[in-house]
Structure 1
Amino acid sequence: MSSSSGSTKWFPNGSIKIELFCYPTATALLLDYELVQSVKPLSSGVFVMNLFMQMVFPIITATCTINEFQWPLTKDTHVIRIGKHTFVFCILGVVFAFQFTGVTEEVNFMQGIIGVFMNYGQYKEHGVGIDEENPLFWSVAQPLAESMAHDMLLWLGHQPGRSHFSLLCHNNCSTRATRLSAATKIVTKAITSGTLLPAHISIQGGGTNDDESQNPYSASPSIEVFTCLVDALEISWLMSGGMLPSIRTHMQRLRSTHPPACNKIWKLNEIGLEAFLKGLDSTSEHEADEVVLLPVPPPTYKGKGKEKVNTLDFVDVNERRKSKRRSR
């Protein structure tokens, strides 16, 4: 049985986690970009959509979760309904789908899930001319879904296809999907822990009408918040293998060409990106769930020369726990 509303959890730092939607059985599938197209399972289990709201500064973040696999829902992420209960997410470097099974309350279910997609993402419907029950569904649907996803990404100024940093056997689509999940968890933990600060973000776009100015939670994240972190992990991996000389020469490739118009969005600025990268630089995607931002004040300046003091830090929770044990 589906649910369009759920629990609300408040955090001491002024953030909220709200369950927007929940359904008990769903499967996430990777539409792989390898030489031989394939559809690979990513995760199966309960599907949950959550909204994270930071009260101190006007940002929100919506996420989708199936079991341990998590991904963002943003205003510059296209969601395409290609089947009765099948949806495709278009994200730079990785295209994946998810399907609901055992749907019985058809009207309520569709109203709930589509309503959330329309509020927090870019939602479209485009059937592929074959029923999901047909065993040939994905052989027909995958190339059509990828073509539609590429059109959407081009509209946003992205170069569709595999990641720019997918070289030889490194940084394949499956790994990128795993890192996207880890990056999503890192960002949401930074919001709920209160360690993502106003100094880390910039808010762009949006109108100036009265309705919007009275809504303090109108800034949604750009997908760049998450893909920049994934790109940085890929660059770091190639650097460790001697295939890239420096991350700085590739930083401009972590930015999109055309941010979405008419939406108020937030991104990590240089200070915020640096704070996250310091942790990601020494942390693999398998350890990403155990990495959190510590409170980081904005850069300070002292002395006559106004010398900048680097106050950015990023700490592995496991290391912090080891330090506590040693101190005992």
Structure 2
Amino acid sequence: MSGTRTEHTHGTVTEIFSFECGRLIVMMIGHGVEQLPVWRVGGFVVNLYVQAITHIMMTTCCVGDIQWPMSRDSLVIRTGERSFAFVMQGLMYGFQLPSGCDEDTVDTLERVFIKFSDYTSLLDHGAKGYPFPEYQPNFWETARPVVEGMARKLGKNWQLMEGNTATSLSKVMRTSATVKTMSNAMVAGFLKPMHVDNYVAKVADRHKRYTSSEEAFSSISAITDVVNSLEMAWKIIAGDQQALEDADREDGSVKISRIKLWKLNQLGLAFFLRQKSNLLC
């Protein structure tokens, strides 16, 4: 954990964890093992963005040029000694630190996940965690159904994703672009207080991490609402009227503990989509 903090006009960016090398794979939820569409190998960074005037925060992860959100209402599952799965609507991000990474570094990363995500570990369910060598080429292909089963067991209602490798790649790239744009908008002042609603929600909190601070964690919907709206608009442009009915669907979860979250309101979502319509490309 580096703790490097950068001051911006309307907030701060703190690098709360970094490691020189990590491996990322992204998979579609609910599909067969044959589709593993996105790989990245590079430096791994976890950043914390905090907007000064609203006290809202967002945590982001990055490997190479791919970014994805981490939130207190999205699931991170430790699948091995140095392997972690991030479960989002329609996607699962599998991340691995190299085999030579020391235990202190892994423990530090785990503490970050405990604080900033809905975290659980397969290692807590058995002495060896997931019973498959985690650096074998087909590790994530065989681990995925275990992760999906645990996500559903913990009460997550993950929407299945229809499409092919190109569809998944498009969703990954739109999610990455949305994270970059949203986090930058927070500290550059483009995201205004009138664009954001804070609320107290009940979320899974297996580590009893209640917070009463004035800061509000980002909801996963702060990103997925934008990505889903962009995808819906693209489908409508392509003549898919079914997308209008799909727009009313929301993420669901069993919620058992209170936490302060934020998401875009209707004004904020409309403003963001107008300004960032290039994400449709």
Measured against the shorter chain, the TM-score band is: 0.7 to 0.9
Comparing 260-269 and 198-207, the one that deviates more: 198-207
1:229-287 Cα offsets, whole Å, 9 max, x none, are 1111111111111112885x65432x33458441110011111111112234x32355x
**Superposition deviation, residue 35 in structure 1:** 4.7
The secondary structure found in structure 2 opposite 1:243 is coil
- Paired with 2:99 and 2:86, the residues of 1 have a C-alpha distance of 21
Q: CA deviation at 1:171?
A: 7.2
1:220 aligns with 2:222: no
Q: Which residue of 2 is the match for residue 241 of structure 1?
A: 238
Aligned mates of 2:114, 2:85 — CA distance in 1: 14
Contact 1:57-1:198 within 8 A present in 2 as well: yes
Shift of 1:104: 3.7
AA in 1 matched with 2:109: I
Please list the CA deviations of residues 10-29 of structure 1 after superposition, one character each: whole Å capped at 9, or x if unmatched. 0122x000010000110110
Distance 2:38 2:253 in 1: 32
Question: Deviation of residue 42 (structure 1)?
Answer: 2.9
Q: Does the 8 A contact of 1:31 with 1:37 survive in 2?
A: no
**Within 2, Cα distance between the matches of 1:9 and 1:242?**
45
Counterpart of 2:81? 84
Contact 2:41/2:64 (<8 A) preserved: yes
Once the two structures are TM-superposed, the CA of residue 128 in structure 1 deviates from its matched residue by: 1.9
**In structure 2, do the counterparts of structure 1 residues 67 and 246 end up closer, same or farther at CA, with 3 Å as the change threshold?**
closer
Alpha-carbon contact 1:71-1:180 (below 8 Å) kept: yes
Whether the 8 Å CA contact 1:178–1:285 is kept in 2: the answer is no
Deviations 1:55-101 (A, max 9, x none): 10121111101111001110011100111111000101111201111
Contact persistence 2:17–2:46 (CA under 8 A):
yes
Aligned residue in 1 for 2:172: 177
Please give the secondary structure, in 2, of the residue aligned with 1:234.
Answer: helix
Corresponding position of 1:273: 269
CA distance, structure 2, for counterparts of residue 243 and residue 170 of structure 1: 19
1:63 is aligned to 2:60: yes
Report the equivalent of 1:262: 258
Alignment pair present for 1:204 and 2:206: no
What stretches of structure 1 of length at least 5 have no aligned partner? Answer: 287-328
| Residue matched to 1:27 | 23
Change (3 A) 1:160 1:277: same
Q: Percent sequence identity over matched residues?
A: 27
Letter in 2 for 1:113: L
The answer (yes or no) to whether the contact 1:78–1:89 under 8 Å persists in 2 is: yes
SS of the equivalent of 2:108 reads helix
Could you say which structure has the greater relative contact order, defined with CA pairs below 8 angstroms and 6 or more residues apart?
Answer: 2
Counterpart amino acid of residue 183 in structure 1: T
Contact 2:175 2:227 in 1 (8 A): yes
Instruction: Give the whole-Å Cα distance in 2 for the aligned partners of 1:86 and 1:246.
Output: 35
Aligned counterpart, 1:146: 148
> Cα distance, 1:140 vs. partner?
2.6
Aligned to 1:161: 160
Q: CA deviation at 1:188?
A: 0.2
- Coordinate RMSD, CA, aligned: 2.5
